[in-house]
Amino acid sequence: MTNLSINIGKLKLKNPLTVASGTFGYAEEFKDFMDLKKLGAIVTKTITLKPRKGNPSPRTCETPSGMLNSIGLENPGLKIFIKEKLPYLTKLGNPVIVSIASEGDSQEFVTLAKRLDKIKEIAAIELNISCPNITVTKSQSRKVTRLISQDANATYELVKSVRKITNKTLITKLSPNVTDIADIALAAEAAGSDAISLINTITGMSIDINKREPRIACVTGGLSGPAIRPVALRMVWQVYQKVKIPIIGMGGIIDTLSALEFFIAGATAVAIGTANFINPGVSIEIIEGIKKYLIKNKINNLNDLIGSLNV
Protein backbone atom coordinates (compact mmCIF):
# COMPACT_ATOMS: atom_id res chain seq x y z
CA MET A 1 0.00 0.00 0.00
CA THR A 2 1.27 3.45 -0.93
CA ASN A 3 0.97 5.86 1.97
CA LEU A 4 0.22 9.45 1.00
CA SER A 5 -0.73 10.67 4.47
CA ILE A 6 1.29 13.44 6.10
CA ASN A 7 1.17 15.48 9.30
CA ILE A 8 1.10 19.26 9.61
CA GLY A 9 1.20 20.18 13.29
CA LYS A 10 -1.76 18.39 14.85
CA LEU A 11 -3.36 17.81 11.46
CA LYS A 12 -3.36 14.43 9.83
CA LEU A 13 -3.92 14.80 6.11
CA LYS A 14 -4.92 11.76 4.06
CA ASN A 15 -2.93 13.20 1.16
CA PRO A 16 -0.62 16.20 0.75
CA LEU A 17 -2.73 18.16 -1.73
CA THR A 18 -4.31 21.43 -0.74
CA VAL A 19 -5.25 24.68 -2.41
CA ALA A 20 -3.58 28.08 -2.20
CA SER A 21 -5.53 30.75 -0.36
CA GLY A 22 -7.44 33.11 -2.62
CA THR A 23 -7.50 30.87 -5.66
CA PHE A 24 -10.25 28.52 -4.49
CA GLY A 25 -12.76 30.86 -2.89
CA TYR A 26 -14.48 29.06 -0.03
CA ALA A 27 -14.51 25.72 -1.92
CA GLU A 28 -18.21 25.74 -2.84
CA GLU A 29 -17.30 27.62 -6.05
CA PHE A 30 -15.43 24.46 -7.18
CA LYS A 31 -18.00 21.85 -6.24
CA ASP A 32 -19.08 21.21 -9.85
CA PHE A 33 -15.53 20.58 -11.02
CA MET A 34 -14.27 17.98 -8.58
CA ASP A 35 -15.00 15.77 -5.63
CA LEU A 36 -13.90 18.24 -2.97
CA LYS A 37 -13.75 15.51 -0.32
CA LYS A 38 -10.66 14.09 -2.05
CA LEU A 39 -8.50 17.09 -1.15
CA GLY A 40 -6.07 16.62 1.73
CA ALA A 41 -7.17 19.95 3.20
CA ILE A 42 -8.90 23.13 2.11
CA VAL A 43 -7.45 26.60 2.65
CA THR A 44 -9.93 29.48 2.50
CA LYS A 45 -9.53 32.85 0.85
CA THR A 46 -7.95 35.16 3.44
CA ILE A 47 -10.48 36.80 5.70
CA THR A 48 -10.22 40.00 7.70
CA LEU A 49 -12.29 41.17 10.66
CA LYS A 50 -14.43 43.54 8.60
CA PRO A 51 -15.62 43.00 5.03
CA ARG A 52 -13.30 44.38 2.32
CA LYS A 53 -14.19 45.43 -1.19
CA GLY A 54 -10.63 44.96 -2.37
CA ASN A 55 -8.67 47.07 -4.84
CA PRO A 56 -9.94 48.93 -7.94
CA SER A 57 -10.05 47.18 -11.33
CA PRO A 58 -8.24 46.08 -13.38
CA ARG A 59 -6.81 43.84 -10.70
CA THR A 60 -5.56 40.90 -12.72
CA CYS A 61 -3.63 40.54 -15.95
CA GLU A 62 -1.90 37.74 -17.78
CA THR A 63 1.90 37.71 -18.05
CA PRO A 64 4.33 35.22 -19.62
CA SER A 65 3.71 31.88 -17.85
CA GLY A 66 1.85 33.59 -15.07
CA MET A 67 -0.48 36.31 -13.92
CA LEU A 68 -0.42 39.46 -11.85
CA ASN A 69 -3.11 40.09 -9.29
CA SER A 70 -3.94 42.88 -6.94
CA ILE A 71 -7.23 41.71 -5.48
CA GLY A 72 -6.55 43.47 -2.20
CA LEU A 73 -8.06 40.83 0.06
CA GLU A 74 -11.67 41.22 -1.02
CA ASN A 75 -13.63 39.15 1.48
CA PRO A 76 -16.94 39.20 3.38
CA GLY A 77 -15.34 39.63 6.82
CA LEU A 78 -15.34 37.30 9.80
CA LYS A 79 -19.05 37.38 10.71
CA ILE A 80 -20.37 36.56 7.24
CA PHE A 81 -17.61 34.01 6.72
CA ILE A 82 -18.71 32.12 9.84
CA LYS A 83 -22.40 32.39 9.00
CA GLU A 84 -22.41 31.82 5.25
CA LYS A 85 -19.17 30.15 4.16
CA LEU A 86 -18.01 27.95 7.01
CA PRO A 87 -21.06 25.63 7.22
CA TYR A 88 -20.48 24.35 3.66
CA LEU A 89 -16.76 23.88 4.30
CA THR A 90 -17.16 21.97 7.55
CA LYS A 91 -19.84 19.73 6.05
CA LEU A 92 -17.26 18.42 3.56
CA GLY A 93 -15.23 16.84 6.32
CA ASN A 94 -11.73 17.78 5.03
CA PRO A 95 -9.53 19.66 7.47
CA VAL A 96 -10.37 23.35 7.03
CA ILE A 97 -7.53 25.84 7.23
CA VAL A 98 -8.73 29.42 7.63
CA SER A 99 -6.42 32.09 6.28
CA ILE A 100 -6.48 35.39 8.17
CA ALA A 101 -4.94 38.83 7.73
CA SER A 102 -5.14 42.29 9.21
CA GLU A 103 -5.94 45.55 7.50
CA GLY A 104 -3.01 47.24 9.17
CA ASP A 105 -3.26 46.68 12.92
CA SER A 106 -1.55 43.41 13.77
CA GLN A 107 -3.80 43.01 16.85
CA GLU A 108 -6.50 42.06 14.32
CA PHE A 109 -4.74 38.71 13.86
CA VAL A 110 -5.18 38.00 17.58
CA THR A 111 -8.85 39.06 17.55
CA LEU A 112 -9.55 36.84 14.53
CA ALA A 113 -7.64 33.88 15.93
CA LYS A 114 -9.47 34.14 19.28
CA ARG A 115 -12.82 33.90 17.51
CA LEU A 116 -11.74 31.04 15.24
CA ASP A 117 -10.14 29.17 18.13
CA LYS A 118 -13.61 28.65 19.61
CA ILE A 119 -14.88 26.87 16.48
CA LYS A 120 -13.93 23.23 16.82
CA GLU A 121 -14.60 22.41 13.14
CA ILE A 122 -11.70 24.65 12.11
CA ALA A 123 -8.55 22.55 11.96
CA ALA A 124 -5.90 25.22 11.51
CA ILE A 125 -5.22 28.89 11.05
CA GLU A 126 -2.93 30.25 8.33
CA LEU A 127 -1.42 33.63 9.12
CA ASN A 128 -1.22 35.58 5.89
CA ILE A 129 1.49 38.03 6.89
CA SER A 130 2.65 38.26 3.28
CA CYS A 131 -0.14 39.81 1.19
CA PRO A 132 1.51 42.35 -1.11
CA ASN A 133 -1.75 43.92 -2.22
CA ILE A 134 -3.09 45.95 0.67
CA THR A 135 -2.86 49.62 -0.16
CA VAL A 136 -2.93 52.34 2.43
CA THR A 137 -5.60 54.79 1.32
CA LYS A 138 -5.60 57.20 4.28
CA SER A 139 -3.29 59.71 2.63
CA GLN A 140 -4.93 59.20 -0.79
CA SER A 141 -1.52 58.24 -2.16
CA ARG A 142 -0.68 54.58 -2.54
CA LYS A 143 1.97 53.88 -0.01
CA VAL A 144 3.87 50.64 -0.05
CA THR A 145 4.07 49.45 3.53
CA ARG A 146 6.43 46.85 4.84
CA LEU A 147 4.92 43.44 5.28
CA ILE A 148 5.19 41.67 8.63
CA SER A 149 6.87 38.80 6.83
CA GLN A 150 9.59 41.13 5.56
CA ASP A 151 10.93 41.54 9.07
CA ALA A 152 12.10 38.63 11.22
CA ASN A 153 11.35 40.42 14.52
CA ALA A 154 7.87 41.46 13.44
CA THR A 155 7.20 37.90 12.25
CA TYR A 156 8.35 36.52 15.60
CA GLU A 157 6.19 38.96 17.60
CA LEU A 158 3.09 38.38 15.49
CA VAL A 159 3.30 34.58 15.54
CA LYS A 160 4.05 34.61 19.26
CA SER A 161 1.02 36.77 20.03
CA VAL A 162 -1.30 34.42 18.12
CA ARG A 163 0.38 31.32 19.53
CA LYS A 164 -0.45 32.52 23.04
CA ILE A 165 -4.18 32.43 22.42
CA THR A 166 -4.70 29.26 20.41
CA ASN A 167 -3.65 25.63 20.45
CA LYS A 168 -4.89 25.08 16.94
CA THR A 169 -2.33 24.24 14.28
CA LEU A 170 -0.73 27.51 13.18
CA ILE A 171 0.69 27.92 9.70
CA THR A 172 2.66 31.05 8.80
CA LYS A 173 2.60 32.12 5.16
CA LEU A 174 5.74 33.87 4.00
CA SER A 175 6.55 36.37 1.30
CA PRO A 176 9.25 35.71 -1.28
CA ASN A 177 9.93 39.45 -1.44
CA VAL A 178 12.80 39.23 1.05
CA THR A 179 16.56 38.85 1.05
CA ASP A 180 16.79 35.77 3.26
CA ILE A 181 13.67 33.61 3.43
CA ALA A 182 15.24 31.17 5.92
CA ASP A 183 15.69 33.96 8.49
CA ILE A 184 11.98 34.72 8.44
CA ALA A 185 11.04 31.04 8.55
CA LEU A 186 13.29 30.53 11.58
CA ALA A 187 11.61 33.45 13.34
CA ALA A 188 8.16 31.93 12.73
CA GLU A 189 9.35 28.55 13.98
CA ALA A 190 10.94 30.04 17.10
CA ALA A 191 7.66 31.83 17.89
CA GLY A 192 5.73 28.56 17.82
CA SER A 193 4.40 28.23 14.28
CA ASP A 194 3.60 24.58 13.48
CA ALA A 195 4.30 24.95 9.77
CA ILE A 196 5.48 27.34 7.08
CA SER A 197 3.56 28.08 3.91
CA LEU A 198 5.51 29.49 0.99
CA ILE A 199 5.52 31.27 -1.31
CA ASN A 200 3.03 34.09 -1.60
CA THR A 201 3.25 36.10 -4.83
CA ILE A 202 6.30 38.00 -6.08
CA THR A 203 5.73 41.71 -6.60
CA GLY A 204 5.74 42.64 -10.27
CA MET A 205 4.26 44.93 -12.90
CA SER A 206 3.14 45.02 -16.51
CA ILE A 207 2.66 48.02 -18.83
CA ASP A 208 0.31 48.72 -21.73
CA ILE A 209 2.70 50.53 -24.07
CA ASN A 210 -0.04 52.12 -26.18
CA LYS A 211 -1.71 53.78 -23.22
CA ARG A 212 1.56 53.94 -21.29
CA GLU A 213 -0.42 52.80 -18.31
CA PRO A 214 0.06 49.99 -15.86
CA ARG A 215 -2.10 46.97 -16.59
CA ILE A 216 -3.00 46.77 -12.89
CA ALA A 217 -4.86 49.73 -11.37
CA CYS A 218 -2.65 49.67 -8.28
CA VAL A 219 0.42 49.71 -10.61
CA THR A 220 2.07 46.69 -9.04
CA GLY A 221 0.62 43.28 -8.30
CA GLY A 222 1.61 39.81 -7.17
CA LEU A 223 3.06 37.47 -9.77
CA SER A 224 1.98 33.83 -9.62
CA GLY A 225 1.93 30.77 -11.87
CA PRO A 226 4.71 28.70 -13.50
CA ALA A 227 6.86 31.83 -13.96
CA ILE A 228 7.59 31.86 -10.21
CA ARG A 229 8.14 28.12 -9.76
CA PRO A 230 11.96 28.14 -9.78
CA VAL A 231 11.98 30.87 -7.12
CA ALA A 232 9.42 29.00 -4.99
CA LEU A 233 11.37 25.76 -5.26
CA ARG A 234 14.62 27.46 -4.31
CA MET A 235 12.97 28.97 -1.24
CA VAL A 236 11.38 25.67 -0.15
CA TRP A 237 14.77 24.02 -0.42
CA GLN A 238 16.53 26.82 1.52
CA VAL A 239 13.91 26.79 4.28
CA TYR A 240 13.86 22.97 4.47
CA GLN A 241 17.53 22.99 5.37
CA LYS A 242 16.99 25.40 8.27
CA VAL A 243 13.68 24.56 9.97
CA LYS A 244 12.28 21.40 11.53
CA ILE A 245 8.60 22.21 11.04
CA PRO A 246 6.79 21.11 7.85
CA ILE A 247 6.60 23.28 4.76
CA ILE A 248 3.55 23.66 2.55
CA GLY A 249 5.07 24.47 -0.84
CA MET A 250 3.38 26.47 -3.57
CA GLY A 251 4.20 28.65 -6.53
CA GLY A 252 3.56 27.60 -10.10
CA ILE A 253 2.54 24.00 -9.51
CA ILE A 254 0.42 22.97 -12.49
CA ASP A 255 0.80 19.18 -12.70
CA THR A 256 2.23 16.06 -11.05
CA LEU A 257 5.77 16.73 -12.24
CA SER A 258 5.89 20.20 -10.80
CA ALA A 259 4.32 19.02 -7.53
CA LEU A 260 6.94 16.27 -7.21
CA GLU A 261 9.75 18.81 -7.50
CA PHE A 262 8.45 20.49 -4.35
CA PHE A 263 8.40 17.28 -2.29
CA ILE A 264 11.93 16.44 -3.36
CA ALA A 265 13.00 19.98 -2.39
CA GLY A 266 11.53 19.50 1.09
CA ALA A 267 7.81 20.31 1.07
CA THR A 268 5.58 18.06 3.19
CA ALA A 269 2.44 19.24 1.39
CA VAL A 270 1.75 21.32 -1.70
CA ALA A 271 -0.91 23.87 -2.58
CA ILE A 272 -2.37 24.55 -6.00
CA GLY A 273 -3.05 28.20 -6.82
CA THR A 274 -3.18 29.80 -10.25
CA ALA A 275 -3.52 26.38 -11.93
CA ASN A 276 -7.06 26.17 -10.47
CA PHE A 277 -8.09 28.89 -12.94
CA ILE A 278 -6.86 26.82 -15.90
CA ASN A 279 -7.91 23.35 -14.79
CA PRO A 280 -10.13 23.41 -11.70
CA GLY A 281 -9.80 19.65 -11.14
CA VAL A 282 -6.01 19.61 -11.34
CA SER A 283 -5.43 18.94 -7.62
CA ILE A 284 -7.22 15.60 -7.82
CA GLU A 285 -5.25 14.63 -10.94
CA ILE A 286 -2.04 15.42 -9.05
CA ILE A 287 -3.00 13.17 -6.11
CA GLU A 288 -3.36 10.27 -8.54
CA GLY A 289 -0.14 11.25 -10.35
CA ILE A 290 1.88 11.26 -7.13
CA LYS A 291 0.55 7.84 -6.21
CA LYS A 292 1.61 6.47 -9.61
CA TYR A 293 5.09 8.01 -9.29
CA LEU A 294 5.59 6.47 -5.84
CA ILE A 295 4.48 3.03 -7.04
CA LYS A 296 6.71 3.26 -10.12
CA ASN A 297 9.70 4.23 -7.97
CA LYS A 298 8.90 1.64 -5.27
CA ILE A 299 8.47 4.25 -2.56
CA ASN A 300 5.88 3.05 -0.04
CA ASN A 301 5.62 6.22 1.96
CA LEU A 302 5.50 9.79 0.62
CA ASN A 303 7.48 10.91 3.67
CA ASP A 304 10.50 9.11 2.22
CA LEU A 305 10.42 11.39 -0.82
CA ILE A 306 10.31 14.63 1.18
CA GLY A 307 13.66 16.42 1.04
CA SER A 308 15.29 13.58 -0.89
CA LEU A 309 17.13 15.95 -3.22
CA ASN A 310 20.59 14.66 -4.20
CA VAL A 311 22.98 17.58 -4.46
Classify residue 3 as exposed, middle or buried by CB count within 10 Å of its CB (0-12, 13-18, 19+).
middle
Nearer of residues 95 and 204 to ligand FMN, judged by Cβ: 204
Q: Which is nearer to ligand FMN, 173 or 310 (CB)?
A: 173
Q: What angle do helix axes 229-240 and 181-190 make, rounded to 10 degrees?
A: 50
Closest CB to ligand FMN among 36 and 228?
Answer: 228
Three-state DSSP state, 132: coil
In contact, 263 and 270? CB cutoff 8 Å: yes
In the complex, the smallest distance separating the C-beta of residue 71 from ligand FMN, rounded to whole angstroms, is 5
State yes or no: is 131 an active-site residue: yes
Q: Is 172 helix (H, G, I), strand (E, B) or coil?
A: strand
Query: Judging by beta carbons within 10 Å of its beta carbon (0-12, 13-18, 19+), is residue 188 exposed, middle or buried?
Result: buried
Residue 3: name the closest of 308, 299, 307 by CA: 299
Tell me which residues in 148-207 interact with ligand FMN (CB under 6 A).
173, 200-201
Stretch that binds ligand FMN, among 65-73, 82-90, 233-241, 297-305 (CB under 6 A): 65-73
User: In angstroms, what is the minimal distance from the CB of 311 to ligand FMN?
Assistant: 25
- Of the residues 131, 254, 272, 290, only one is catalytic, namely 131
SS (HEC) of 95-121: CEEEEECCCCCCHHHHHHHHHHHCCCC
Q: Which is nearer to ligand FMN, 246 or 273 (CB)?
A: 273
Which residue of 6, 11, 13, 20 would you call a contact of ligand FMN, by CB under 6 A?
Answer: 20
Task: Identify residues 208-267 at the interface with ligand FMN (CB under 6 A).
Answer: 224-225, 228, 250-253
78 binds ligand FMN (CB under 6 A): no
Q: How far apart are CA 106 and CA 207, in angstroms?
A: 33
- Does position 45 bind ligand FMN by CB under 6 A? yes
Q: Taking CB positions, which residue lies at the least distance from ligand FMN?
A: 22
Enumerate the active-site residues. Answer: 131
